[in-house]
């Protein structure tokens, strides 16, 4: 089975808590002797997972990004399929709440979107297989553990997937700067998928055409757009406000 790296305390702790069977080996930066290190090493010992204290230079060479002094080698996670997601939606005891990211290629933005999706109660994040960021170690680190809690689904044909979930009764709400309706005029209370486009270009034409409603975020200042992860957070929390009743 392929090996990948997870780094950053939140990301490693999330694997330790939720998928400990994936852990193969952990490296911790020398000089740290705090309570957090003690808790993790004790848990690793209990699982029989090898861990080593190393110089920061070795961690820098092993991964690219701010590792915060901890890196873990883990077995590759099972990737969710479109069929897995549809089966979950059909068996769920509450209305679907999905996030669709069309063309978000920056792993930092993807990780931030996953983190907010987890906090807002999103059941899955969906992206196209092409022209989209994947769950790189950087995305996992920025997600602060959400990559291990929120199903991440890459679909071959996004337009076809949107048609499929529409047939399942999911209402598609897309964001577009030129939309007439505002975020606060949208109804997020039922089965819904929020569709966010790439920063700058927005949603692709076919994605836009499949949306049931287009909305925009009101802007009162001088800038005319928000970073996609910030915009996603604004929209998801309006949706959560409505869904909480």
**DSSP notation for 134-155:** ---HHHHHHHTTGGGTS-EEEE
CA atoms within 13 A on the CB side of 80: 24
Compute the C-alpha angle 160/137/66, nearest 5°: 140
Q: State the pLDDT at residue 237.
A: 98
Binding residues for S-adenosyl-L-methionine: 197, 217, 226
Phi, psi for 132 (deg, rounded to 5):
-150, 150
CB 80 within 8 Å of CB 124: yes
Domain with CATH 3.30.1330.30 in the chain: 3-75
Residue the block writes with tokens 């490296």: 27
Q: State the pLDDT at residue 201.
A: 81
Over residues 226-240, the pLDDT tens digits come to 899 999 999 999 999
Strand order of the β-sheet with 3-7 is 3-7, 70-75, 23-29, 50-54
Whether 2 shows a pLDDT value over 80: the answer reads no
Confidence grade of residue 1 (pLDDT, cut at 50, 70, 90)? low
Fold of 82-244: Alpha/beta knot (3.40.1280)
Binding residues: 197, 217, 226
Over residues 73-130, the pLDDT tens digits come to 999 877 889 999 999 988 888 999 999 999 999 999 999 999 999 999 999 999 999 9
Whether 3 shows a pLDDT value over 90: the answer reads no
Over residues 7-48, the pLDDT tens digits come to 999 889 989 998 899 999 999 999 877 889 999 999 999 999
Over residues 34-88, the pLDDT tens digits come to 889 999 999 999 999 999 999 999 999 998 888 999 999 999 877 889 999 999 9
The residues, any chain, with a CB within 8 Å of residue 103's CB and separated by 6 or more, are: 128, 131, 132, 197, 198, 201, 203, 204
Going by C-alpha positions, the residue among 142, 2, 22, 126 that lies closest to residue 72 is 22
Domain with CATH 3.40.1280.10 in the chain: 82-244
What does the pLDDT average to over 134-160?
92
Q: State the pLDDT at residue 190.
A: 95
The residues, any chain, with a CB within 8 Å of residue 126's CB and separated by 6 or more, are: 85, 98, 99, 100, 101, 153, 154, 155, 158, 161, 193
CATH code, residues 3-75: 3.30.1330.30
Q: State the pLDDT at residue 189.
A: 96
């Amino acid at each position: 089975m392929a090996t990948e790296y997870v780094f950053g305390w939140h990301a490693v702790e999330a694997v330790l808590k939720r998928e400990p069977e994936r852990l193969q080996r952990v490296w911790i930066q020398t000089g740290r002797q705090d309570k957090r290190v003690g808790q993790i090493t004790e848990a690793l010992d209990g699982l029989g997972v090898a861990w080593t204290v190393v110089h920061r230079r070795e961690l820098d060479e092993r991964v690219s990004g701010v590792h915060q002094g901890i890196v873990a080698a883990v077995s590759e996670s099972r990737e969710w399929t479109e069929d897995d997601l549809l089966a979950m939606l059909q068996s769920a005891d509450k209305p679907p709440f999905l996030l669709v990211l069309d063309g978000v290629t920056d792993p930092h933005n993807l990780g931030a979107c996953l983190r907010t999706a987890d906090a807002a109660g999103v059941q899955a994040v969906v992206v196209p297989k092409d022209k989209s960021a994947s769950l790189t170690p950087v995305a996992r680190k920025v997600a602060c553990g959400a990559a291990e809690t929120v199903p991440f689904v890459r679909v071959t044909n996004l337009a076809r997937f949107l048609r499929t979930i529409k047939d399942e009764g999911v209402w598609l709400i897309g964001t577009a700067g030129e939309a007439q309706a505002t975020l606060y005029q949208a109804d997020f209370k039922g089965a819904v998928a929020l569709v966010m486009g790439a920063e700058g270009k927005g949603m692709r034409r076919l994605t836009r055409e499949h949306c049931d409603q287009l909305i925009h975020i009101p802007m009162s200042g001088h800038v005319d757009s928000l970073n996609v992860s910030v915009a996603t957070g604004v929209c998801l929390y309006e949706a959560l406000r409505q869904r909480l009743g």
